[in-house]
């Protein structure tokens, strides 16, 4: 269960709807919840923690993220100007009244861990993902942030948290597989969340990165399987990688949908299940705003899909051969 949409991604989400979505995921048997300080500027950690605190603490696993601190201006503390929004950042429509501050240094990683423990109110955090680091995300500031994570002790803080038993593992949670590949040369990653780069529309990671992750024994959580929504519905909002979908992408979606219709398989079902065909994929993380969306996602995940569908998509050049 991905919680990003509950923070007001693209549109506001009522608190009652958000709580119902989390409860529906639990009722459906989902026991892994992914969150981040960024999601709703703290809102999603609060909402998720409120529900999970009432459950058996040994019955679920959670991941959250580090790299962004939630802060605000006050006398004696003036925040730097907000960085320009990158192409992956859509903003939050009913997030909490905080500012995010990128910081991947040793002290910031430890503070982020403490802050997430307080926001969730949970006795443990299982996995920490370094959130949204990479050249596409940070542009000219990438080298600065990468230096904080490496030479500045960010990875060392994560290693210490794991060694002390405060977390079970760590990795990166990003849209760019290239930076995960770079991180593998810096530290021993346990698992990583890769969003949007191994989907029916984007196989960029398939040729070189997925085999490397498999060889290094780095488990992959695959996110963004709908590529921001266009693979979940071809009507209404057509977002691809968090922005309006270009015509070439819309055309490919129509071709994918046509093949799926031949086999009586909903396109979103194929989108959810596609990443699990590769042995490097451990699970998929799917976001939802309502209980109905959660239940729909579960139904798509459980939809029977014949192997012939995948072979047809390969034969027509719509997905790379496995």
Nearest to 98 by CA among 7, 13, 175, 14: 7
pLDDT of residue 293: 95
Q: Mean per-residue pLDDT for 239-264?
A: 89
Could you tell me the two tokens for 83?
A: 């960085």
Average pLDDT of the residues of the chain:
94
CA distance 217 to 210: 11
Q: Would you say residue 87 has pLDDT above 70? A: no
Tens of pLDDT, residue by residue over 61-81, are 999 999 999 999 999 988 888
Tens of pLDDT, residue by residue over 269-279, are 999 999 999 99
Q: Would you say residue 90 has pLDDT above 70? A: no
3 state SS of 131: strand
Q: What residues act catalytically?
A: 34, 39, 65
Parallel, antiparallel, or unpaired for β 127-131 and 61-66?
Answer: parallel
């Amino acid at each position: 269960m991905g919680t990003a949409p509950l923070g007001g991604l693209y549109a506001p989400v009522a608190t009652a709807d958000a709580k119902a979505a989390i409860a529906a995921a639990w009722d459906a048997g989902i026991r892994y919840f992914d969150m981040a300080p960024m999601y709703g500027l703290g809102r999603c950690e609060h909402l998720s923690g409120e529900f999970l605190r009432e459950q058996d603490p040994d019955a679920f696993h959670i991941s959250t993220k580090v790299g962004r601190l939630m802060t605000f201006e006050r006398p004696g503390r003036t925040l730097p100007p907000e960085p320009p929004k990158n192409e992956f950042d859509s903003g939050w429509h009913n997030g909490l009244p905080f500012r995010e501050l990128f910081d991947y240094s040793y002290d910031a990683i430890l503070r982020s861990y403490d802050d997430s423990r307080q926001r969730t109110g949970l006795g443990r955090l299982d996995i920490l993902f370094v959130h949204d680091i990479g050249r596409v995300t940070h542009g000219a500031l990438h080298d600065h942030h990468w230096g904080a994570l490496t030479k500045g002790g960010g990875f060392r803080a994560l290693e210490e948290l794991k060694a002390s038993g405060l977390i079970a593992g760590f990795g990166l949670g990003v849209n760019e597989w290239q930076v995960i590949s770079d991180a593998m040369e810096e530290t021993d990653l346990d698992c990583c969340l890769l969003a949007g780069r191994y989907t029916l529309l984007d196989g960029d990671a398939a040729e070189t990165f997925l085999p490397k992750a498999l060889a290094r024994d780095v488990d992959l959580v695959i996110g963004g399987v709908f590529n921001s929504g266009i693979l979940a519905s071809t009507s209404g909002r057509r977002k691809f990688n968090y922005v309006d979908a270009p015509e070439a992408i819309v055309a490919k979606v129509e071709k994918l949908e046509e093949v799926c219709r031949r086999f009586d398989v909903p396109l979103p079902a194929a989108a959810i299940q596609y990443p699990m065909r590769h042995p490097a994929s451990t699970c998929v993380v799917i976001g939802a705003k309502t209980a109905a969306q959660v239940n729909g996602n579960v139904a798509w995940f459980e939809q029977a899909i014949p192997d012939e569908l995948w072979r047809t998509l390969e034969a027509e050049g719509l997905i790379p051969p496995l």
